[in-house]
A and B are shown apart, each in its own frame.
Chain A
Amino acid sequence: AQRVTQPEKLLSVFKGAPVELKCNYSYSGSPELFWYVQYSRQRLQLLLRHISRESIKGFTADLNKGETSFHLKKPFAQEEDSAMYYCALTLGGTSYGKLTFGQGTILTVHP
């Protein structure tokens, strides 16, 4: 069965510092990877998906199939980035979009 691991439960950085949230997955096939974010008092929402290779709010994530990782990076963290971040994967084919989530990382950006 597939599994997503986020090794850091808590991550603290200062404003302007680089930040990297780690995500590793285990799956023998080719999953699709996502990052979801939950800001304080807001709903869980999609941040970015690996297929799009996009940068959202300054965040990027590269899928490394060799290392089975999908780390989320931002070169200069902002206070408004403080939130809970979830890495998630879905299988291809007829998986009906079901998501397997990691344990989540709480990011705190200090002023």
Chain B
Amino acid sequence: NAGVTQTPKFRVLKTGQSMTLLCAQDMNHEYMYWYRQDPGMGLRLIHYSVGEGTTAKGEVPDGYNVSRLKKQNFLLGLESAAPSQTSVYFCASSRPSRQSSYNEQFFGPGTRLTVL
């Protein structure tokens, strides 16, 4: 049981290049999330998905696109990378709970992206 996995672990891009980050979970979770982690700013939600085929914007969605074609996968795309997108990206998943208090998110190991 791998939990949440992320591919790749590290990547260096040049400004204007594109790439896709892959998140996979084997816990049959409905909800999936993409966050970025920046020093002094904590984690901020980029996009999220509440089920296969659905996506929604989070707090900082500009410059990113996502897709959830399969329940277990959540892809984050950068169409034209910018230096401001240099960050550590975390994927997380959770099972819906009637009471949000009991919602626990399970995180992946992170992807460190540098845009030159």
Contacts and interface: CB of A to CB of B under 8 A. Distances in A.
B42 A101 contact: yes
A91 B31 CA distance: 15
A86 B109 contact: no
Contacts, number: 66
Given A98-B48, A104-B42, A43 B31 contact: no
Contacts of A46: 104-105
A17 B92 CA distance: 34
A95 interface: yes
Nearest to A51: B101
B43 A101 contact: yes
Interface residues of B, number: 32
A91 B59 CA distance: 14
Interface in B83-116: 90, 92, 94, 96-97, 99-110
Interface in A17-47: 32, 43-46
A43 B6 CA distance: 12
Nearest to B4: A43
Contacts of B48: 96, 98
6 contacts: A43-B4, A43-B107, A51-B102, A96-B48, A97-B105, A101-B43
Please name the 8 residue pairs, one residue from A and one from B, whose CB atoms are nearest each other, closest first. A51-B101, A97-B103, A101-B42, A44-B107, A32-B101, A101-B43, A103-B42, A43-B107
Interface of A: 4, 6, 9, 32, 43-46, 49-52, 86, 90-93, 95-104
